[in-house]
Amino acid sequence: MLTTSIRIFAVLFALLAGFLPRAESATALDPENTIYLDLPAGRVVIQLLPRIAPSHVARIKELTRKGFYDGLTFHRVIPDFMAQTGDPGGDGTGGSGKQLKAEFSSTPHLRGTVSMARAQNPDSADSQFFICFAPSPFLDGQYTVWGKVVSGMEFVDRIKAGTQYNNGAVTNPTKIIRMRVAADVKP
């Protein structure tokens, strides 16, 4: 009886271990596919997902390497939903000037998912992106997921919020200090 119970426990443990998300250390990530997003509260580490959204990942890395995101604000932040950045004008109407073809996938929008913002046209994503505070399944398959926060989500939680009543517009918004591809950062 005890042996059977141990076997059942071992099988259940093995099954669960394979399905539960594991904390990933920043050192175990591929530096070429990792972004360091430095906020006033601390560093957010984002794992890029080039297999899911190769064009978007390439564009995010290109803009990051140009310093495009440094100093930009989180202009739209809705509590329990998401924080949006990437507009040089800070009002949600601008971008880098290069629109990307959608790379929609079945990857869900969970807490820590990093996804591209866009207008009505599915192929209108440019430089603006958002980080989800909570699962947002209504976005699944309609926005391009290109990364996930693997550490520092507590710093994302400290981004100054707007309200749902003003579509998340923020007064004196949190700014990105710097955004870097990990491969470009000297230890």
Whether residue 187 is predicted with pLDDT greater than 90 in this model: the reply is no
Cα 180 from Cα 187, distance rounded (Å): 13
Whether residue 74 is predicted with pLDDT greater than 50 in this model: the reply is yes
* Average pLDDT value for the chain: 89
Cα 146 from Cα 114, distance rounded (Å): 6
Q: Which helix (H) or strand (E) holds 39?
A: strand 34-39
Q: What's the order of all strands across the beta sheet hosting 145-151? A: 76-78, 82-85, 129-132, 113-116, 145-151, 42-48, 34-39, 178-181
Q: What is the mean pLDDT of residues 101-112?
A: 98
Residue 25: its pLDDT value, please?
44
Model pLDDT for residues 139-182, shown as the tens digit of each residue: 999 999 999 999 999 999 999 999 878 899 999 999 999 999 99
The first and second tokens of residue 140, run together, are 């699944």
150 by DSSP, 3-state: which?
strand
Q: Which residue bears the tokens 């920043």?
A: 26
Model pLDDT for residues 4-60, shown as the tens digit of each residue: 444 444 433 343 343 333 444 444 899 999 999 999 999 999 999 999 999 999 999
Cα 174 from Cα 116, distance rounded (Å): 19
Sign of CA dihedral 57, 62, 63, 65: positive
Locate the domains of the chain by residue range: 28-184
Q: How far is CA 82 from the centre of its chain?
A: 10
Q: How far is CA 118 from the centre of its chain?
A: 15
**What CATH number belongs to 28-184?**
2.40.100.10
Residue 163: its pLDDT value, please?
83
Model pLDDT for residues 118-149, shown as the tens digit of each residue: 999 999 999 999 999 999 999 999 999 999 99
Q: What is the mean pLDDT of residues 76-85?
A: 97
Give alpha helix (H) positions in the chain: 2-19, 54-65, 153-156
Residue 137: its pLDDT value, please?
98
Residue 20: its pLDDT value, please?
36
Residue 4: its pLDDT value, please?
43
Residue 94: its pLDDT value, please?
94
Residue 154: its pLDDT value, please?
98
